[in-house]
Structure formats: structure tokens, C-alpha cells
């Protein structure tokens, strides 16, 4: 093909792109159409919304209301109300309208209605209407009670009311029981449950009513009530019906509780052993019921609880017999012996819940006995505190008088030691469980110590014998070397020390003995912290007592007391262990405070005591681990100096400040030597402030020129030294004090010059000053920044 032909042909043809390019073009066009369609749909939706009328938002229709009660519940309420109304109507008919009918009419009406009410439940049960049958059966039972009343009014009007009530309740209980059994025997799953619980409720009355009708006394009536409780207990343990079992349990607890309460009142009111024995027999019956219930109880918790009650009933009954015969001092001891006897029953072949319950009952009795003895222990322990107000007034008549110098001895507390030692013996011997044995031994130790504490006062021993007994008890408990025994020893020794205040000789002997005793005990590592502190405390008291015995005034006695902190400082160096050292040093510091307190009224001796305390502190600071005590020694020396100066009547502040400022500056210099980077404010600031500031205040009020001159010279020297060594604190403090001191010296001349000038000169000078400051404000700010930078580069 020639070139010309090809050109002509191509010129006449249409341009068709490649397929890929054409496909891309079509996709772009479709995307534009989709976007346009979306815009049109949005516009259409808006137009439709604007054309439609606005409708109010109505709440969604609520569903049907939920019933608050169920259909069976409504049915039961209606049946109950109907039965009550019919019962009330029958009562009104029987009691009010009875006289309008003859004998035949009465019998016919009551008999027909009662038989109909009792027979209707059978037909109702066959139709499956159990709830209706229950209501009708209840109506029938109520009608039987009205029949009994009507029979009494019509046939037996002269019969004894109590006897007839006993017979009627017995007959009704039997009839209702037979009726309930007959209804339960009917075929079908549904049964009427009301007759049998009602029969059980009615059965609570016959025995008590028969006892009253037969002329029985309180013991007989109480026995009848307890037998009723026994019957209820048997029913509660044997029947399977839940409703009947609940009614029986309630009856057992109710009648049993009333029976036990009545028995307790009879035991307390027993005038002789015969009446007490009858009450004990009733308690034994109650205990038999409770223990029987515990033996057959299905749950261990219930068995344990009823066993506890049975054990307490046995103790109450057995202890009531000797109470009626023995004197009042032995009452608690008699009950305690009976409570301890329960421990023997625990060793017998009994079930574990019963054994646990009897053990708890025995423990409860013993705990009550110990609580009864606690007032006597409190008097023996706290009563001697009153001797602080009657020190060295003379030996009392006996140990009881020593313990009750300003109080009284509890009534019937003579047997408190026997009670305490008996419980302690039981705890020590009866507890075999390895988990509880250490606690039991500890409790036994506490009770034995309390026994010895109370024994002298309870037996009215001589005063000296009482001191000896309490001292031996302190030695004994201290020998156990346990935390509890140590605490008991400290308490006992405190009471012994207070008791010894009655006489001068006793005080010296007891305090000296206690000091030696606890000092010896401090050699045992376990007791060292407490024993050493207590020993030093008693040594302090001994020093005070020796001073009073020698007739020394309190300020002179303080010198004797200082022997205690001296001994503490020496002993702390030899004892081992940080706790012991801290305890000894703390007690020594407390003794030093006592010495200082004794000399507060005598400044010269106070200064001497403070100086001696400073020497003791300085000696303590010699030890490497007690270097900080040197600060306390310095403070005490300064304080002693101040007190001495005040006693001499010196009022110059430099006499008080310089003894403190110079050592402070020396300490600061030593610190700066060890740590050159330390701030001069921490090293020299306190010493310079203590030495310069009080003198500056004094100089402003001093009319002479010597103090301002010396203060200015000292401040100038400090300022120059600060500038020489580039130190902030000396430069700032020295410069400030120097400026204020100079201002004080120039103040009179400034005042004279101000008085000599015309009145317009001060305002003019102030205006010129403000103008100068405003004109050079920026320069002044730069100067201040420069000064701050210079000071910041200093230490």
C-alpha cells in the first residue's frame, strides 16, 4: 500500500481509544452519575420532610400492668378472711344468740355445722381444692372449741373451770390429732396440714392445767411445763413434716424457756435444802431434755447449743443446793465446783457436739466466777495508789486495810483466791490440746499471780507478811522470763512499791530490793530492756526516798538522783544490744529530768544540775555510736550558764549569747573544713545570728556608746571576713548589722538636721529622690542583678 492511500484512509476513519482507556473513562462517568444521584436523593428526602406536618412525639403504649400478687396468694388471703369471718359469726351465734333456741335446736345447729365443717374438706380434697379445704378445716376446728364451751354452759355449768379446761383441751388435742391423721390418710397427693399443728398447739395446755386443777404447787406446775417441753422436743426430733416440726420446736423453746425461768426463780427463793433440792430436780429434768435433744439433734451447731444449755442447767441445779445451806461467801465457789465437775463428763463416752457443749458450759461458769473475783483483784492492785497521799503515815492494821486505805473491800470476796486458783488449776491440767495449751498455761499463770495478789487482803494477813508474799510472787513470775510474766512482775512490783509507802523503813527496803531484783533480771537477754529500765526507775525512787529520809530538801535530793543517770551512762557502755542501750539511756534521761524538776525552785543548784547533766551527756558522746549526744551536752552547758548568769542578776545579752555563738561558729568551721562545699548559712548563720542580732536589739535601746561601738567593730570584722572569703552569710549578716548600727548612731543627728531644715525641704528632697530613682530605674535594676549574681557565686 502506498503512502498516499494510507493517509486518505486514515483521514476518513473515526478515532477509537484502546479498551483499557475506554474502560477507565466509563468508570469515571459512572462515579459522577452515582454522586449526582446521591445528591438528588438527599434533596428529595428533605423536600418530603418539609411537606409533611409535624406530629407530636407520643409515648409508646404501655404494656399491661404487672400484678403485685400472685393468684394463689390472693386465693389464700380470701380463704383466710372468709374462715375468720365465719369463725367470728359462729362465736357471736354461740355466745349471744344461744338462748333463743332450745336444747334440741342447739344440739342440731352446732352438731350439723360442726360435722359439715369437718366433713367438707374430704369432698374439697377430692376436687383438688386444698387451700379451700384448709380454710374449712380451720373453721371446723374453731367450731369444736365452741362446742366445748357450749357443752360446759349447757351440760356442766357447775363444773370447775380449770378441770373442765384441762379435760376439754385433752379431748380436743386427741380429736384434732385423729382428724388430722384421717385426712392425711386420704388418697391423693394433696393433704390438709392444719389439724396436726393445731392439735400440737392445743397439747401445750393439758399437763399444766391438770397440775393446777389437782392443786399442785409451783414445783408441780413447773414440772408439768417442762414435761410439755419434753413432749415437744420428741415431736420436733421425730416427725418429718416441716410445719409440724417448726411448731414443735417453737413449743419446746417456749415452754422450756418458761419452765427454766420458773425453776431459776424457785431455786433463788429456796429457803432450805428441801426446796433447793426440788428446784435442783427440776433443773435436772430441764438438763435431761436439753442433753437428749443434743444427742439426737441432726445438726452439730444445734447439738452444741442445746448441750451448753443442758450443762448450765446442771450447774444451776447442783449449785443451788449448797447455796441454801452454805454462807454467802461460798456461793460462787459452790457453783464453780459444779462447773468444774462438768469437765469429768466431757471425758466420758459422749458425742463430739455434746462434749463440746459441756466444755463450753464449764468454761462459761468458770469465766463468770473469774469475773466475780475481778473486783477484789482490782482493789488489791489499784487500792495502794492512795498511799501516795498518805506516805509514811504509819503501818496499817493488816493487808486488807493497806489495800483499802481510801476504799472498801467487795462483799463476799473472801473466797476470791480459792476461785482464782481453782480456775487456774483447771486451765493448767484439763487443757490437753497442743494448739491451746500455751494459751491455757499463760492464763493459768495470770490467775495464779492474781491469787497471790488477793490472798493477803482476803485473809487479812499482817501488813509485813503481805509485803513479803507480794514480793515473793514478783520474784516467782519474773523467773518465767516471758513477756507476760515480765509484765505481771512489773505490775506486782508497782503495787508492792505503793504498799511500802506506808512506812519509811518499808519504802527503803522494798525499793532497794526491787532495784537489785530487776538489775539481776536484766542479765537475762530476753528481759534486759524492760528489767533494766524498771531497775533504774526504782533506783530513782530509792534516791528520792533516801533524800527524804535524811531530811534533805528536794533541791539537794536532786544531787542523789543524778547518780541514776550516771549509772545508766556507765551501764549503757557495757550492756549489749541496741534495744537495751536505748532503754537504759532513756530511763537515765528520765531520771535526769526528775533531778532537774527537783531544783526548779533553786537557780544555783539548777545550774549545777544542768552542768552535771551536760558532763554525763559529754561522757556518753565519747562513744562512737553516740556522737550526737555532744549536741545535747553543749546545749545543757549553755543552759547551765544562762541559769547561773540569771541567778547572778546579769542582764547583758552578750553574756548569754556569746557562750552559745562561739561554739556554734567553731562547729561551723569544722564542718566547712570537712565539707568545703557546705553553705555558709548552715555553717556560720546560726552562730552569727545568735551573737549579733540580740546585741543589735540591745544597742538600739542603749543610750551609751560602748556597745554600739563594739558591735559595729565586730560587724565590720565579720563583713570583711565574708568579703575576703566570698561567703554569703558573714557578708550579709555583718553588713546588715553594721548598717543598722551606723543608722542608730546617725539617728540623733538626722533628727536634729531635720528639725533645723525648713518644712518644705523634706518633701522636696523626697521628690528629687523619686525623680532620680525613676530616671535611673533601669540602671538600678542592672546593679541589683549584678549584686545578686555576685552573692550567688559566693557560698
Residue 628 lies in a domain: yes
The string of pLDDT tens digits covering residues 38-65 is: 888 888 887 877 776 545 454 444 444 5
- 291 lies in some domain: no
Asked if the structure places residue 773 within a domain, the reply is: yes
Query: Domain boundary at 650, 674, 689, which?
Result: 650
pLDDT bin (cut points 50, 70, 90) of residue 499 is very high
pLDDT of residue 533 exceeding 50: yes
Query: What is the Cα–Cα distance from 214 to 198, expressed in whole angstroms?
Result: 26
**Contacts of residue 386, Cβ cutoff 8 Å, sequence gap at least 6:** 405, 406, 407
C-alpha span between 371 and 363 (Å, rounded): 12
Task: Find the helix packing angle between 416-430 and 352-382, rounded to 10°.
Answer: 140
Let me know: does 455 contact 417? Beta carbons within 8 Å. Answer: yes
Which of 660, 647, 720, 651 is CA-nearest to residue 686? 660
pLDDT-derived band at 749 (thresholds 50, 70, 90) equals: low
Q: Quick one: pLDDT at residue 751?
A: 58
% of residues, the chain, pLDDT over 70: 82
More confident residue, 598 or 761: 598
Q: 3-class SS at 17? A: coil
Q: Is the pLDDT of residue 776 over 80?
A: no
Domain boundary among 191, 215, 239: 215
pLDDT range class, residue 2, cuts 50, 70, 90: very low
* Predicted local confidence at residue 424, as pLDDT: 92
Per-residue confidence band for 414, with pLDDT thresholds at 50, 70 and 90: confident
Q: What is the pLDDT of residue 46?
A: 79
pLDDT at residue 494, as a whole number = 93
pLDDT of residue 282: 92
737 or 312, which is more confident? 312
Q: Are residues 684 and 581 in the same domain?
A: no
Q: Is residue 225 part of a domain?
A: no
pLDDT at 348: 67
CB neighbours of residue 309 within 10 Å: 21
Q: What is the pLDDT of residues 366-389, one digit of tens each?
A: 999 999 999 999 999 998 999 888
Gap between the Cα atoms of 351 and 252, Å rounded: 22
**Are residues 742 and 764 located together in one domain of the fold?**
no
645 pLDDT band, cuts 50/70/90, is: confident
- Global pTM reads 0.69
- Tell whether 548 and 643 lie within a shared domain: yes
- Looking at per-residue pLDDT, the higher value among 163 and 669 belongs to 163
Please check the confidence at residue 787 and state whether its pLDDT lies above 70: no
Which pLDDT does position 68 carry in this prediction? 37
Q: What pLDDT was estimated at residue 564? A: 92
- Any residues with CB less than 8 A from the CB of 170 and at least 6 apart, and which? 206, 210
Q: In percent, how much of the chain has pLDDT > 90?
A: 24
- pLDDT tier at 639 (50, 70, 90 boundaries)? confident
Kindly state whether residues 559 and 692 are assigned to the same domain. Answer: no
Whether residues 518 and 546 share a domain: the answer is: yes
Whether pLDDT at 493 is above 90: yes
* Residue pLDDT, tens place only, 574-594: 776 678 888 888 998 999 999
pLDDT digits (tens, 9 = 90+) for 678-690: 777 777 878 788 7
pLDDT of res. 187: 67
Number of domains in the chain: 4
Question: Contact at 8 Å (CB) between 679 and 795?
Answer: yes
User: Averaged over 8-32, what is the pLDDT?
Assistant: 69
Task: Give the residue with greater pLDDT, 336 vs 774.
Answer: 336
- Of the pLDDT bands very low, low, confident and very high (cuts 50, 70, 90), residue 5 is very low
pLDDT at 107 over 70: no
| DSSP annotation of 500 | G
In this structure, the answer to whether residues 547 and 600 fall within a common structural domain is yes
φ, ψ of residue 628 in degrees (nearest 5): -60, -15
The predicted model gives 329-343 an average pLDDT of 87
* Co-location of 641 and 701 in the same domain: no
The reported pLDDT for the residue numbered 545 is: 93
- The answer to whether residue 24 sits within a structural domain is no
User: Last residue of a domain, which of 588, 621, 650?
Assistant: 650
In this structure, is residue 539 part of a structural domain?
yes
Cα 154 to chain centroid distance, Å, stands at 69
Residues 629 and 728 in one domain: no
DSSP 80-124: HHHHHHHHHHHHHHHHTSGGGS-HHHHHHHHHHHHHHHHHHHHHH
Backbone angles phi, psi at 677, to 5 degrees: -80, 0
Residue 462: what pLDDT?
A: 93
Same domain, 734 and 639: no
In terms of Cβ atoms closer than 10 Å to its own Cβ (0-12, 13-18, 19+), residue 92 is exposed
Position 287 in a domain: no
Q: How many CB atoms lie within 10 A of CB 460?
A: 14
Which pLDDT band holds residue 653 (cuts at 50, 70, 90)? confident
User: Can you give the pLDDT at residue 129?
Assistant: 73
In this prediction, residue 262 carries a pLDDT of 92
Q: What is the mean pLDDT of the chain?
A: 80
pLDDT value at residue 27:
80
Do 692 and 740 sit in the same domain of this protein? yes
pLDDT, residue 80, reads 46
Angle at 666 between CA 662 and CA 672, to 5 degrees: 140
What mean pLDDT comes out for the span 181-194? 71
Query: Could you tell me the pLDDT band of residue 188, with boundaries at 50, 70 and 90?
Result: low
- pLDDT confidence of residue 99: 52
Range of the domain at 508: 503-650
Question: Could you tell me if 610 and 685 lie in one domain?
Answer: no
- Ranking 343-352, 391-400, 467-476, 669-678 by mean pLDDT, the lowest is 343-352
Task: Tell whether the model's pLDDT for residue 196 goes beyond 60.
Answer: yes
- pLDDT surpasses 90 at 778: no
Q: What confidence score (pLDDT) does residue 488 get?
A: 92
Asked if residue 475 is part of any domain, the answer here is no
Query: pLDDT tens digits for 212-264?
Result: 988 888 999 999 999 999 999 999 988 887 888 899 999 999 999 999 999 99
Residue 448 has pLDDT above 90, yes or no: yes
Q: Output the CA angle 134-136-138, nearest 5 degrees.
A: 70
Confidence (pLDDT) at 713: 83
Q: Of 52-61, 104-113, 171-180, 662-671, which range is least confident? A: 52-61
Distance between CA atoms of residues 566 and 362, nearest Å: 55
Clarify whether residues 714 and 602 are in a common domain: no
Amino acid at each position: 500500500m502506498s503512502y498516499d492511500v494510507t493517509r486518505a484512509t486514515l483521514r476518513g476513519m473515526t478515532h477509537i481509544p484502546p479498551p483499557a482507556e475506554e474502560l477507565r473513562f466509563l468508570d469515571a462517568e459512572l462515579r459522577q452519575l452515582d454522586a449526582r444521584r446521591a445528591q438528588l436523593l438527599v434533596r428529595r428526602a428533605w423536600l418530603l420532610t418539609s411537606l409533611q406536618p409535624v406530629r407530636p412525639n407520643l409515648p409508646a403504649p404501655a404494656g399491661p400492668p404487672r400484678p403485685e400478687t400472685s393468684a394463689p396468694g390472693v386465693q389464700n388471703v380470701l380463704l383466710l378472711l372468709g374462715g375468720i369471718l365465719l369463725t367470728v359469726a359462729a362465736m357471736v351465734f354461740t355466745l349471744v344468740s344461744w338462748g333463743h333456741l332450745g336444747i334440741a335446736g342447739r344440739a342440731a345447729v352446732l352438731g350439723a355445722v360442726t360435722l359439715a365443717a369437718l366433713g367438707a374438706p374430704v369432698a374439697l380434697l377430692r376436687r383438688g381444692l386444698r387451700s379451700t379445704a384448709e380454710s374449712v378445716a380451720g373453721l371446723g376446728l374453731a367450731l369444736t372449741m365452741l362446742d366445748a364451751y357450749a357443752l360446759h354452759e349447757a351440760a356442766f355449768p357447775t363444773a370447775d373451770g380449770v378441770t373442765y379446761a384441762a379435760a376439754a383441751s385433752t379431748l380436743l388435742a386427741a380429736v384434732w390429732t385423729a382428724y388430722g391423721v384421717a385426712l392425711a390418710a386420704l388418697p391423693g397427693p394433696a393433704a390438709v396440714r392444719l389439724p396436726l399443728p393445731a392439735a400440737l398447739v392445743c397439747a401445750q395446755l393439758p399437763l399444766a392445767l391438770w397440775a393446777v386443777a389437782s392443786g399442785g404447787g409451783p414445783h408441780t406446775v413447773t414440772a408439768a411445763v417442762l414435761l410439755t417441753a419434753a413432749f415437744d422436743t420428741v415431736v420436733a426430733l421425730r416427725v418429718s413434716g416441716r410445719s409440724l416440726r417448726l411448731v414443735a420446736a417453737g413449743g419446746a423453746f417456749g415452754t422450756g424457756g418458761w419452765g427454766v425461768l420458773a425453776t431459776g426463780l424457785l431455786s433463788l427463793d429456796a429457803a432450805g435444802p428441801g426446796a433447793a433440792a426440788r428446784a435442783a430436780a427440776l433443773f435436772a429434768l430441764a438438763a435431761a431434755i436439753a442433753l437428749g435433744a443434743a444427742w439426737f439433734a441432726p445438726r452439730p451447731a444445734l447439738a452444741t447449743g442445746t448441750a451448753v444449755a443442758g450443762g448450765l442447767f446442771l450447774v444451776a441445779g447442783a449449785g443451788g443446793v449448797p447455796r441454801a445451806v452454805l454462807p454467802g461467801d461460798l456461793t460462787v465457789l459452790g457453783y464453780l465446783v459444779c462447773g468444774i465437775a462438768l469437765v469429768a463428763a466431757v471425758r466420758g463416752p459422749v458425742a463430739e457436739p455434746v462434749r463440746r457443749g459441756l466444755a463450753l458450759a464449764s468454761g462459761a461458769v468458770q469465766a463468770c466466777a473469774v469475773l466475780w473475783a475481778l473486783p477484789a483483784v482490782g482493789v488489791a492492785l489499784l487500792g495502794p495508789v492512795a498511799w501516795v497521799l498518805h506516805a509514811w503515815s504509819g503501818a496499817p492494821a493488816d493487808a486488807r486495810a493497806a489495800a483499802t486505805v481510801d476504799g472498801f473491800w467487795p462483799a463476799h470476796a473472801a473466797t476470791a483466791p480459792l476461785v482464782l486458783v481453782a480456775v487456774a488449776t483447771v486451765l493448767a491440767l484439763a487443757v490437753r490440746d497442743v494448739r491451746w495449751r500455751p494459751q491455757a498455761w499463760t492464763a493459768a499463770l495470770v490467775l495464779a499471780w492474781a491469787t497471790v495478789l488477793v490472798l493477803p487482803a482476803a485473809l487479812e494477813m499482817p501488813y509485813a507478811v503481805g509485803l513479803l508474799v507480794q514480793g515473793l510472787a514478783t520474784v516467782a513470775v519474773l523467773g518465767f522470763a516471758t513477756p507476760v510474766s515480765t509484765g505481771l512482775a512489773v505490775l506486782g512490783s508497782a503495787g508492792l512499791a505503793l504498799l511500802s509507802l506506808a512506812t519509811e523503813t518499808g519504802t527503803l527496803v522494798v525499793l532497794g530490793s526491787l532495784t537489785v531484783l530487776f538489775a539481776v533480771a536484766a542479765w537475762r537477754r530476753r528481759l534486759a530492756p524492760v528489767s533494766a529500765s524498771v531497775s533504774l526507775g526504782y533506783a530513782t525512787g530509792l534516791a528520792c526516798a533516801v533524800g527524804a529520809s535524811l531530811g534533805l530538801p528536794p533541791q539537794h535530793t536532786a544531787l542523789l538522783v543524778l547518780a541514776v543517770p550516771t549509772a545508766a551512762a556507765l551501764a549503757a557502755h557495757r550492756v549489749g544490744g541496741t534495744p537495751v542501750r536505748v532503754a537504759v539511756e532513756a530511763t537515765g534521761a528520765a531520771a535526769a529530768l526528775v533531778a532537774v524538776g527537783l531544783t526548779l525552785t533553786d537557780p544555783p543548784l539548777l545550774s549545777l544540775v544542768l552542768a552535771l547533766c551536760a558532763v554525763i551527756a559529754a561522757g556518753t558522746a565519747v562513744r562512737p555510736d553516740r556522737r550526737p549526744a555532744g549536741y545535747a551536752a553543749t546545749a545543757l552547758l549553755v543552759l547551765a550558764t544562762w541559769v547561773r548568769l540569771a541567778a547572778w542578776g546579769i542582764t547583758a545579752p552578750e553574756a548569754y549569747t556569746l557562750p552559745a555563738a562561739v561554739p556554734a561558729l567553731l562547729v561551723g568551721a569544722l564542718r566547712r573544713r570537712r565539707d568545703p562545699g557546705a553553705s555558709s548559712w548552715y555553717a556560720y548563720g546560726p552562730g552569727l545570728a545568735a551573737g549579733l542580732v540580740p546585741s543589735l536589739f540591745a544597742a538600739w535601746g542603749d543610750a551609751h556608746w560602748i556597745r554600739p561601738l563594739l558591735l559595729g567593730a565586730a560587724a565590720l570584722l565579720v563583713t570583711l571576713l565574708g568579703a575576703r572569703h566570698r561567703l554569703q552569710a558573714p557578708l550579709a549578716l555583718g553588713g546588715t548589722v553594721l548598717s543598722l548600727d551606723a543608722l542608730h548612731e546617725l539617728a540623733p543627728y538626722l533628727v536634729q538636721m531635720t528639725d533645723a531644715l525648713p518644712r518644705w525641704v523634706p518633701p522636696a528632697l523626697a521628690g528629687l529622690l523619686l525623680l532620680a530613682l525613676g530616671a535611673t530605674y533601669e540602671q538600678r535594676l542592672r546593679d541589683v542583678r549584678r549584686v545578686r549574681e555576685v552573692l550567688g557565686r559566693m557560698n
